[in-house]
Amino acid sequence: MSGRCGNLTGNEQAIVADVGDRAAIEAMMRDVRAVVHLTGVGGDYDLETLFRVNARGLFDVFESARLEGVERIVFASSNHAFGCYPITERVSPDMPPRPDSLYGVFKVLGETMLRNYHDRHGIRSVSLRIGTYRPLPIDQRSLATWLSPADVAQLVDLSLRHPDPGCMVVNGYSNNTRLKTYDPNWSVLGYQPTDNAEYYLEMLRANGVDVDSPDRGEWEWPEHGGSHARVAERPARRA
């Protein structure tokens, strides 16, 4: 809900506002049936910014939607909600979250809030645990985690059109050969990703990316969250 919008069609309207502007958020929700919430800042921001956008801003969007009678929310969650699982474990959405960072913690918060909004207020939702969303794969890890623009568009569209997703969590990846997760909810939504990171092996190899290591055992990162699960944090004080 911030930034610039261009190339609008006749039935579209752009309203540019900060996610911290509650009054503007409430105004946006009037006469709206569904919300796709993509706003967020990455894990390299300080706690205050993360909280303002990814926690307080998240609440203001969801609560404003509830108060205006919005019926469905599609939420951009993240694979970092389960990033501390070993890469050798095929994670599915029905497994407990294991966030790899404060960024991942706030994504789990969003999923949990939507469970509450469904149980208390009947708002249907789909939380998309998005992998590496880029126009093209960028590194070895994205051979497993890439989500292409075409596939994310399909995933969002299906999440909006499904007659009753309840409160669903879905892993957001393309049809990658080296995919390391399992998600029965793809078939529930009717999601059939068409892109595959493997098509870009030669491009990655030409860019110096090691694409020839064994698929398991010598993988670039030992956890699903990649570098997020290994970022150095402030050490604890010792007695």
What are the catalytic residues? 103
Contact assessment for residue 129 and residue 198, using Cβ atoms and an 8 Å cutoff:
no
Contact assessment for residue 43 and residue 101, using Cβ atoms and an 8 Å cutoff:
yes
User: What is the C-alpha to C-alpha distance for residues 149 and 158, in angstroms, rounded to an integer?
Assistant: 14
Measuring CA to CA, which residue among 25, 101, 28 is closest to residue 60? Answer: 25
Residue 77 dihedral angles phi and psi, to the nearest 5°: -85, -155
User: What is the C-alpha to C-alpha distance for residues 212 and 49, in angstroms, rounded to an integer?
Assistant: 39
Query: Distance of CA 105 to CAs 124, 183, 190, 208, 213, Å?
Result: 22, 21, 28, 33, 31
Count helices and strands (H / E) in the chain: 8, 6
DSSP for 97-123, written as a single string? P--SSHHHHHHHHHHHHHHHHHHHH--
Contact assessment for residue 124 and residue 166, using Cβ atoms and an 8 Å cutoff:
yes
Residue 127 dihedral angles phi and psi, to the nearest 5°: -100, 120
